[in-house]
Structures are given as structure tokens and as C-alpha cells.
Structure 1
Amino acid sequence: MERVRDLRQLPKAHLHLHFTGSMRPATLLELADKYGVHLPDALRGGEPPRLRATDERGWFRFQRLYDIARSCLRSPEDIQRLVREAAEEDVRDGSRWLEIQVDPTSYAPRLGGLIPALEIILDAVRRASRDTGLGIRVLVAANRMKHPLDARTLARLAVRYADRGVVGFGLSNDERRGLARDFDRAFAIARDGGLLAAPHGGELSGPASVRDCLDDLHAGRVGHGVRAAEDPVLLRRLAARGVTCEVCPASNVALGVYEKPEDVPLRTFYEAGVPMALGADDPLLFGARLAAQYEIARSAHAFTDAELAELARQSVRASRAPEETRQRLLADIDAWLAAPPSQEPHGLSAPSRLGRPTG
């Protein structure tokens, strides 16, 4: 078997991770027992639930599972635990910089309101960063299922905390609902306040949703964006503008966007010059964390170690990390590639490759 380098040792930035979705399965079980929350079998079974969100019923089931998991986060201590454990998992997978995405309105009712919720989250981020050595920042995300005025409120709040750890503004939930342009004012507020615009698009909907992110929201990064592969003109536009797509291969397959890992258009993007930042999305529901996404690129798309190193560089360049941090990470990526391959194959363990949760 060909000798390869350990992907968990490859320095990288993690730019697409949702807050509740970052939780360890074992932590969810403990918190559910603590608060008397009944978890459906899909969240108790020890394996990722079977999901297919390409139709409305499937997306509703996915969202329901996510909402149940989120209901188990009820105290500042729960928030601190989630962020600390997410940071620990990222460090284990070679992440050196994490931008975690959160809609604080989802946690506000149990944490004393919108502002206290965001402050508790940011405090947890600072503590986890200090304790693990992982650089962590926050993207505040609006929910496209809610009124655009709510998004404007969140954008103003995000700008207010731009000097305390918020680096970007996103838009999540079912991209088939509502129009991107309905949220243009919220994104203008965020951009004017110095925040990165990073809306979701091009996963459940086709290339048009990616164009809307570019035209209406002036996206600097696009969450997912994989359906742009269906439009060569759009691919050239993304490449020319250097807009990074936060591609999450395991979740694309788990949600039924593609039938198998080989179908995710990693090669198409790479060869078109579209920068990518591989992300885990919601490992609680999809089972695979960050290093497993790179393993998919290696095993399903035959990416060489040199190409995997370039993917890691693209993630670092697209991050909001300080320039000094970026340069250090890029040098460490070069060092990883310069080191000789291991004597034994260093792919991920079979459970990670198969997308099973590791607890």
C-alpha cells in the first residue's frame, strides 16, 4: 500500500461548522438525560441518522433532529462544554483555526436574551481558545426562514461585537425558501461593519442560488456552493473572483445532494481553480469530522498529498485569521508536505472514513 502522510497532522482551517451540530454524540446523550429530553432513536443509536433532505419532508426531519439537539443546550456551562469539546475535536483533526457559525436567537430564550446569549457564546469561545490553543472566531448567522428584519437585527448585533470575536455574517437553513435579495440590507450592514459575508447557497438549490449569493449579498465566501459545478460560466466567475466555497463532502452525501462521495465535485472545483475550504458542517448528524473530509478527497477523488496540502492552504487563505497566523499556518503546511510519508499507511480509521461518530 502506498505510504501517505497523516491527514490529522496536516494543519488546516475549519470554516464551516455549525454550533449545535459540532456536539459530540455522547455529550448530547448526557445533556438529554440531565434535562429529561426525550431523544428519538435517530439521535440515540450511535450512528448518524439516515437523512435525505432533497425534498421538503426530508429537510423537515433533519431540522427537527437539529432542533431537538439544540434544546439540550440550556446553561452557560453547556455552551462552554460544547465549544471546548468542539475545539478539542478540531485540534485532534489538525485544525489550527476555527470559525464556528451560530444563530444566537436560537439560544436566547434559555440564556437570558439575545445579547446575553451572544456574550455567553463569545466567552465560551475565548475560554476554549485559551485552553486548547486553537484560534476560534464566530460567524453570526441569520435564518432565512425568519423575517429579513430579524436578520438586520442580528447583523447590527454582529457588527457591535466585531472587536470581540465575530468575524462574519451568514445565512442558513433551507435555501429553497425565500430569496437572497430579501436579506441584502442585513448583509450590507454586516459588510459596512467590516464583517465577511458568508451565506449558504448552492447545496439544496442549483447554481442560481450561488449567483444570488454573489449578486445580491456580495458573498466573500459561499457555504457549500457545490451546485455551481453545473454551470461552467459560474465556476469561472468564482475562480476569477477568488470566492471560496465551503465544501462539506460528507454532509452532501448524507443529505442526498449526491449519491456517493465520488459524486461530490471536488475535482471539478479544483481543476477550475475555485478555492475550497473543506468543512464538517454538522458532525453530530453526519458523523464525519474535519479530517474525514480530507480523507474523502484522498480516497474518493485520488487527491495527492500535494493537492491535499493545497486544499489546506486554500482554507487558511480564506479564513479571517490574522496575517501572522496565516503565514505561520502556510509554513507549517509546507513542512507537513516536505516531511517524508510514514512507513505505514496513515489514513483515518475505518469508522471515520465511513462517517460514523466517534463520540
Structure 2
Amino acid sequence: MASVSPESGAPARDVRLLPKAHLHLHFTGSMRTGTLLELADRYGVRLPEALSSGTPPRLRATDERGWFRFQRLYDIARSCLRRPEDVHRLVQEAAEEDLRDGSRWLEIQVDPTSYAPRLGGLIPALEIILDSVADAMRATGLGIRVLVAANRTRHPLDARTLARLAVRYADRGVVGFGLSNDERRGFARDFDRAFAIARDGGLLAAPHGGELSGPSSVWDCLEDLGAGRIGHGVRAAEDPRLLRRLAEAGVTCEICPASNVALGVYERLSQVPLRQLFEAGVPIALGADDPLLFGSRLAAQYEIARRHHAFTDRELARLAAQSVQASTAPPDVREKMLLGITEWLEN
């Protein structure tokens, strides 16, 4: 069924043709299901039905057991990436999927520590990833950069090592430093030194916060880690003072509606406080998070805004523009994307 514009009742513009930046996509989670099935068969990895059925699993990560199940599925999928050519294929296909959805700039997040055991070590793993990104850019024309992410469940000293490595490879396409995994574990301030290293090295600070935990985790990201963007941040809607802070500081929240519901943060797509954040003036960059597990990619998040939150085409264009402005894309690339957004609205 074709979408209908809330503005006029006429057929809505195709959101796949709307130029946009994709700022919240995890590495293994970007994989196509078909690719996972092929790799699992090649390496003799037995996949649980939640990964092999082609139907996104229903996860309840709001409790520890549910998060463990989600993480286990992710780890099983990651175990199928064993050779440089597997990594190359994943990045190439992620770029193709993004282009199909109208993305003109992708910032993909990865913890190279997780891939190091099978790819020859930490530095070789990151270099293979960055080489794959460079190849995919040449092949597709999509602008792609990398955010190196530390794991909140590991020791903060590991995060410092990763931050130094990320800075070292800034000239090879690393643009930011993140903090992922269960935000209910530990304290953001334990990672403050790692983020200081990253920021001092010119990298964007983009930790996760405000999804599984409430507004306090967003405050911690702002005050302890100097966040320039927040991965998720959706539960900032529960704190009016925090909404004002994000809006006034221009800190973008990378909102991923489909994953919010899949992980049980909200029961229904209509409950995700997307419009509340938007109308409070908080910059938003819609993201797909982990399409492999959540079943929808970037354009689908814009359709969610349209269908479940009555965003008009003009408002969708504003969301796309906010994603572009929050990206690390060079000025000329941003200008071209913003011009494309204007043209999308005029056609």
C-alpha cells in the first residue's frame, strides 16, 4: 500500500529518494540475512532459529536475561566473520543497502576488539575494516566513515587503548569514538579518560545512552564524556530539562524507532517519543541500528515517522537535514546533500 502524505492526502514522496545521512549502524548488525546464512554454512556455524528464519526475533532487552539473549545472537552472527573477504563483503553490501535507502553518507560503528581474534589482532582487524570501507566507497560512491566503539562491559583501560588506536587512524577514515553494550553496566565516568583521549585527538564523542537506561544515562554522556552526539537518547523525553539542554547545545540523538520496539523499550512504534523530541528542538538522526536483528533498514525508519507519528514530507526533510548536519561529512558533501533534500521537496 502506497504511503499518503499527512499534508494533502496525496501520494507521499518516496523516502528512499530523500538524501540523508546514516549515523547509527552497527557493524555485524548491518549484515544481510542471506549473507549470514551463507557464511554460517561455509564455516559450520549452527544458527538458532532467531537468526536463520528470516523473521526478526522478538527481544525483551529491558531485563538482563533479554539483553543476554540479544547479545548472544549478535555474538553468533559476528562469529561468522572470519576472513578479510567476509568483512569486505559485509561493508560492500551495507553500502549498497544504504544507497538503496537514500543514504549519501554512512558512519558505521565497530569494536575491532571483537574481530581481532580471527583477523590477526587488533591493529590488523581495524586495518582490514578500513581497507574494506575504502574499497566500498570506490565501488559505490557512498561516503563512509568509521566510529570505533569501546565495550562498556570491558575494563576502561581497554577503552583507552581503543581511543588511542582510533586517533592513530583518523587519517584513514575514523571520525568518532563510541561506547556500546548494556548502558546499565558500570558508570560512564569510568570511561572519561578514553573519551578525553578521543576528543583531544579530534574525534567526535558519540556514546550510547538513554535507551535501556533513563535520562540519567544521557546526562552522564554529556557531563562525563563530552558527547557531541548520543547513540539513541530517546528516553531524554522523560526529562524536560534534559530536552532543553540537548536542544540548546545542538546535541543530536540517533533515534532508532524499530529497535526501540524490538528491544522492548516501548511496546508500539507509536509510543516512541519521536515527535516529542522533534518538537522540543532536539536534533534527530534516524538510524537502523542492527537491521540483521531488527528487520528494517534506514528508509523504514522514515516511514515509521510518517505512518506512526504523522510526520509530513517537509518534516521528514527536516529530519534528513538534521542527520546531514550532525554528520562528519565535509562541507561540500553536506551542501550537496542538503541541496538534494530541497530538490526532493520541490519535486
TM range (shorter): over 0.9
Amino acid at match of 1:290: L
- Superposition map of 1:271-286 within 5 A: 271-286=279-294
Q: Any idea what SS the aligned residue of 2:175 has?
A: strand
Q: In the aligned structure 1, how far is the partner of 2:250 from the partner of 2:306?
A: 23
Amino acid at match of 2:202: G
For residues 242-288 of structure 1, the C-alpha deviation after alignment (integer angstroms, 9 at most, x for no partner) is 00000000000000000000001110011000000000000000000
Q: Any idea what SS the aligned residue of 1:277 has?
A: strand
Q: 2:232: which partner in 1?
A: 224
Amino acid at match of 1:109: P
Q: In the aligned structure 2, how far is the partner of 1:17 from the partner of 1:179?
A: 23
Q: 1:349: which partner in 2?
A: none
Q: In the aligned structure 2, how far is the partner of 1:46 from the partner of 1:250?
A: 16
Q: Does 1:24 align with 2:39?
A: no
TM superposition shift of 1:48? 0.3
- Superposition map of 1:65-104 within 5 A: 65-104=73-112
Q: 1:234: which partner in 2?
A: 242
Q: Any idea what SS the aligned residue of 1:174 has?
A: coil
Q: 2:7: which partner in 1?
A: none
Q: Which of 176, 179, 190 is residue 198 of structure 2 equivalent to?
A: 190
Q: Which of 305, 311, 319 is residue 311 of structure 1 equivalent to?
A: 319
Q: In the aligned structure 2, how far is the partner of 1:151 from the partner of 1:261?
A: 34
Q: 1:328: which partner in 2?
A: 336
Specify every segment of 5 or more residues in structure 2 that has no aligned partner in the other structure, as ranges. Answer: 5-9
Q: In the aligned structure 1, how far is the partner of 2:149 from the partner of 2:326?
A: 18
TM superposition shift of 1:46? 1.1
- Superposition map of 1:41-120 within 5 A: 41-120=49-128
Q: 1:180: which partner in 2?
A: 188
Amino acid at match of 2:87: I
Q: In the aligned structure 1, how far is the partner of 2:298 from the partner of 2:140?
A: 17
Q: In the aligned structure 2, how far is the partner of 1:183 from the partner of 1:28?
A: 33
Q: In the aligned structure 2, how far is the partner of 1:41 from the partner of 1:292?
A: 24
- Superposition map of 1:113-262 within 5 A: 113-262=121-270
Q: 1:299: which partner in 2?
A: 307
For residues 61-98 of structure 1, the C-alpha deviation after alignment (integer angstroms, 9 at most, x for no partner) is 00000000000000000000000000000000000000
TM superposition shift of 1:143? 0.0
TM superposition shift of 1:50? 1.3
Q: Does 1:288 align with 2:296?
A: yes
For residues 136-178 of structure 1, the C-alpha deviation after alignment (integer angstroms, 9 at most, x for no partner) is 0000000000000000000000000001100000000000000
Q: In the aligned structure 2, how far is the partner of 1:207 from the partner of 1:253?
A: 18
Q: Any idea what SS the aligned residue of 2:338 has?
A: helix
CA RMSD in angstroms, aligned pairs only: 0.5
Q: Any idea what SS the aligned residue of 1:288 has?
A: coil
Q: Which of 38, 45, 49 is residue 46 of structure 2 equivalent to?
A: 38
For residues 319-350 of structure 1, the C-alpha deviation after alignment (integer angstroms, 9 at most, x for no partner) is 000011001100110000011xxxxxxxxxxx
Q: Any idea what SS the aligned residue of 1:48 has?
A: coil
How many residue pairs get aligned? The number is 339
Q: In the aligned structure 2, how far is the partner of 1:62 from the partner of 1:273?
A: 32
For residues 300-322 of structure 1, the C-alpha deviation after alignment (integer angstroms, 9 at most, x for no partner) is 00000000000000000000000
Amino acid at match of 1:200: H
Q: In the aligned structure 2, how far is the partner of 1:205 from the partner of 1:211?
A: 11
TM superposition shift of 1:196? 0.0
Q: In the aligned structure 2, how far is the partner of 1:38 from the partner of 1:73?
A: 14
TM superposition shift of 1:3? 1.4
Identity %: 81
Q: 2:19: which partner in 1?
A: 11
Q: 1:355: which partner in 2?
A: none
Q: In the aligned structure 2, how far is the partner of 1:307 from the partner of 1:22?
A: 27
Q: Any idea what SS the aligned residue of 2:54 has?
A: coil
For residues 175-234 of structure 1, the C-alpha deviation after alignment (integer angstroms, 9 at most, x for no partner) is 000000000000000000000000000000000000000000010000000010000000
Q: In the aligned structure 2, how far is the partner of 1:282 from the partner of 1:240?
A: 30
Higher relative contact order (CA 8 A, sep 6+): 1
Amino acid at match of 1:123: D
Q: In the aligned structure 2, how far is the partner of 1:315 from the partner of 1:130?
A: 23
TM-score, length basis structure 2? 0.97
Q: Any idea what SS the aligned residue of 1:212 has?
A: helix
Q: 1:348: which partner in 2?
A: none
Q: Any idea what SS the aligned residue of 1:337 has?
A: helix
Specify every segment of 5 or more residues in structure 1 that has no aligned partner in the other structure, as ranges. Answer: 340-359
